[in-house]
Amino acid sequence: MARTILVTGGAGFIGSALVRHLVRETDSVVVNVDCLTYSGNLDSVEPVSDSDRYRFEPVDIRDPASTRRVFADHRPQAVMHLAAESHVDRSIDGPAAFIETNLVGTFHLLDAAREYWQELAVGDREAFRFLHVSTDEVYGSLGTSGYFTETTPYAPNSPYAASKAGADHLARAWHSTYGLPVVTTNCSNNYGPFQFPEKLIPHMILTALERKPLPVYGDGGNVRDWLYVDDHVEALLLALEQGIVGEVYNIGGDAERENLEVVRQICALLDEMRPRQDGSPYEEQIAFVEDRPGHDRRYAIDSDKLRRTLGWQPRRTFEAGLRETVRWYLENETWWSRVRSGVYRGERLGIL
């Protein structure tokens, strides 16, 4: 019998990529639990929504009764927890939503999973897994050298990072105290198709097409390690299926780039794929703006543990993944124009 996997946040960017992969590449029944906040978009799972192995539950994980009902109705063999408020700038403007969803919501989900798991038969209890998906931002900021490892002390600097760090500690505690079989992953910056356009790469693509200034924070020298979303999804499945209970696995793309370099690469790809009629380069739209408060200078992930123990490695170079991403946005205006017509129109967020 096919296993049932409960995916929280399955209408978000990474969650929808995971849902699409699970439905297309496995025989699992996939239960998408998402309350459809501004960045949740069912258009992102539309390619697989007609499958008889796909279910949608419009449930908020902050609602304990509804969350428990989902467990009772669907009887999952695994949970992949991705539901989260995720944008640093928004966490500066409104931290309460991040605490409520990322921390309180994770608590309710963990406790519902614990109650459900404790009532399972022994064999089912041993097979059950709870994958908690987190971020490298919990580790804080790196200097010009070194990498985050699974033992790097937590030092979150933004409300978003702090809320995710708290959720990580809850997941660890529910394993240590109650025995819930939790595996945790911490990933670097994801990019790819279907990403909400408040994030750097899609924001720059669409803003460039609109002939507006491309806002680069500070001097543009902040460094991020970029991970193509489908490579991340494959790593998550490996961690779920082969990861050791109680362990943490860092997932990085080995693709450190300064933000300014990323923006310039996007401009060059647009010059090639959608040249301006007057022949002028998109790079002339770059505009340096005031940095955001508490902007971490550099993130870089050491994912050696995942590679060595589970055999994972990213399939795409950053250059190949970025080209694929730019092409997708150029060819899917219907998707992003509906997003752009709603609650987010490309405005700057996170200014005190």
Residue 225 annotated as catalytic: no
List residues bridging with 78 in a β-sheet. 5, 129
Tokens coding 116? 């459900």
Q: Among the options 54, 139, 147, 160, which is catalytic? A: 160
* Angstrom distance (rounded) from CA 189 to CA 255: 10
Q: Among the options 34, 57, 89, 137, which is catalytic? A: 137
Q: Among the options 57, 89, 136, 254, which is catalytic? A: 136
CA 223, 229, 230, 231 dihedral sign is: positive
Is 101:84 a contact under the CB 8 Å cutoff?
yes
Let me know the angle formed at the C-alpha of 147 by 203 and 169, rounded to the nearest 5 degrees.
Answer: 80
Is 289:216 a contact under the CB 8 Å cutoff?
yes
Is 312:230 a contact under the CB 8 Å cutoff?
no
* Angstrom distance (rounded) from CA 132 to CA 248: 9
Residue 137 annotated as catalytic: yes
Q: Annotated catalytic sites, by residue?
A: 136-137, 160
